[in-house]
Structure 1
């Protein structure tokens, strides 16, 4: 959804440039479009579940859920030193 809105904002900004009415609405639309697209590219919060065994130093949090993308059961592990979380398929 965010990608669609980001692309639409950039396309509207381009149309505004072509018709000569870029100011004042084209500038914010450009930043909104670039920001939404960049956030999707650089957001690393969601990582798909791995099938590899967990390394030493990771603690099982007891959290379990069904991954909506794969419909597989996933366990959550955490590294206490950093707070980093890792997701493993069961």
Structure 2
């Protein structure tokens, strides 16, 4: 069964690493993954989140001054990602 996820992309590795630290520091589940080919970014990392925690995670990241590039909803099916919606950051 396909899983829906939210991916956050960043303008630099610095922001990606800071985002992971902020999210995990708040007790939320998020993990850095290599940037999927389906997305373009200046940074080679994306933060993968469950959809239900993406709103509180974004609030935390904004408060911490983390710059985002994109917020994208994807479906992960058998290890492959398919972009289903680009969301407002």
Which of the pair is proportionally richer in helix? 1
Which of the pair is proportionally richer in strand? 2
Find the structure with the greater CA-based Rg. 1
The answer to whether TM tops 0.5 is: no
Category of TM-score, reference length = shorter chain:
under 0.3
TM-score by length of 2: 0.25
Which structure has more relative contact order (CA 8 Å, sep 6+)? It is: 2
